[in-house]
């Protein structure tokens, strides 16, 4: 059975698209390896390898930021936590109990381009309602807990700024940055972009792809579920 990638390349050939001159973006690196083989076979000759990226590699290229390691992210998040506010802070060992969850939340917030000021102020207000805000005599632990929630926006911005200053980012930050500068990239890179096999997209991916499809030569081809 003809594979999805074979069908796409056949379709591009029928439209007289110059395969070697396109930029291809796929969901994974492994898919890119198969695509290169199919293009080479279709052209029937040795060519310079076309630009083929996984979506993560492509977003990294646009943002001009490298992905930070998990360890780097945790240390930088803890550093931002220490730098934000004057309330009593937990040890790094204690921070690790909840820091990973906060890191995952920040990653999703940025991948979906969520307005953080509204989000964090709303979360802080909820915590005040849910946790003791109506009590007349709050303990120091209660006050410290509520101060933390009120500092989340500062922690978030300090964290991201510290990462950017080192030209690195967590995945969500790289995606948000790419979505902010994709127009500049699109103005510089005029080659057609071919997107293949994407299904559910986060907000940053959707914005990036929509802008690049503004080039009439760029194309997107249906859902692809790898079978290898």
Backbone angles phi, psi at 67, to 5 degrees: -75, 125
pLDDT at 154: 94
The more confidently predicted of residues 31 and 121 is 31
Residues 84 and 55 reside in one and the same domain:
no
Alpha-carbon gap, residue 24 to 192, rounded angstroms: 9
Residues 82 and 154 reside in one and the same domain:
yes
Assigned token pair, 218? 């760029």
Alpha-carbon gap, residue 69 to 170, rounded angstroms: 8
pLDDT at 138: 58
Cα angle 213, 214, 219; round to 5: 30
Q: Which domain holds residue 145?
A: 69-165
pLDDT at 222: 77
Residues 136 and 188 reside in one and the same domain:
no
The more confidently predicted of residues 188 and 134 is 188
- Segment 216-228 shows an average pLDDT of 69
Residues 80 and 151 reside in one and the same domain:
yes
Residues 2-21 pLDDT 10s: 588 999 999 999 999 999 89
Domain membership of residue 228 (yes or no) is: no
Is the pLDDT at 92 greater than 80? The verdict is yes
pLDDT at 127: 67
Assigned token pair, 150? 């009120």
Q: How many domains does the chain have?
A: 2
CATH of the domain at 58: 3.40.50.300
Residues 159 and 78 reside in one and the same domain:
yes
Between the CA of residue 186 and those of 1, 55, 60, 176, what are the distances in Å?
Answer: 36, 16, 15, 16
Residues 126 and 94 reside in one and the same domain:
yes
Question: The whole model's pTM is what?
Answer: 0.88
Domain membership of residue 173 (yes or no) is: no
Domain membership of residue 76 (yes or no) is: yes
Residues 32 and 89 reside in one and the same domain:
no
Taking alpha carbons only, the member of 31, 30, 27, 23 closest to residue 52 is 23
Residues 47 and 94 reside in one and the same domain:
no
Average pLDDT, the chain: 87
Alpha-carbon gap, residue 90 to 93, rounded angstroms: 8
Domain membership of residue 176 (yes or no) is: no
SS3 breakdown of the chain: % helix, strand, coil, rounded to 5? 60, 10, 30
Residues 93 and 60 reside in one and the same domain:
no
Domain membership of residue 177 (yes or no) is: no
């Amino acid at each position: 059975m003809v594979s999805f990638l074979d069908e796409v390349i056949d379709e591009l050939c029928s439209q007289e698209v110059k395969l070697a001159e396109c930029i291809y973006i796929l969901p994974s690196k492994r898919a890119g390896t198969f695509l290169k083989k199919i293009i080479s076979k279709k052209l029937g000759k040795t060519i310079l390898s076309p630009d083929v990226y996984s979506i993560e590699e492509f977003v990294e290229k646009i943002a001009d930021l490298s992905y930070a390691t998990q360890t780097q992210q945790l240390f930088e998040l803890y550093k931002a936590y220490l730098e934000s506010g004057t309330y009593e802070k937990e040890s790094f060992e204690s921070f690790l109990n909840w820091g990973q969850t906060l890191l995952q939340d920040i990653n999703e917030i940025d991948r979906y381009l969520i307005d953080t000021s509204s989000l964090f102020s709303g979360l802080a207000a909820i915590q005040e309602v849910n946790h003791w805000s109506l009590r007349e005599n709050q303990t120091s632990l209660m006050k410290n807990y509520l101060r933390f929630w009120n500092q989340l926006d500062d922690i978030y911005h300090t964290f991201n700024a510290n990462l950017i200053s080192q030209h690195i980012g967590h995945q969500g930050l790289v995606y948000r940055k790419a979505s902010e500068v994709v127009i500049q990239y699109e103005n510089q890179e005029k080659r057609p972009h071919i997107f293949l096999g994407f299904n559910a997209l986060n907000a940053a991916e959707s914005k990036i792809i929509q802008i690049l499809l503004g080039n009439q030569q760029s194309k997107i081809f249906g859902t692809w579920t790898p079978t290898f």
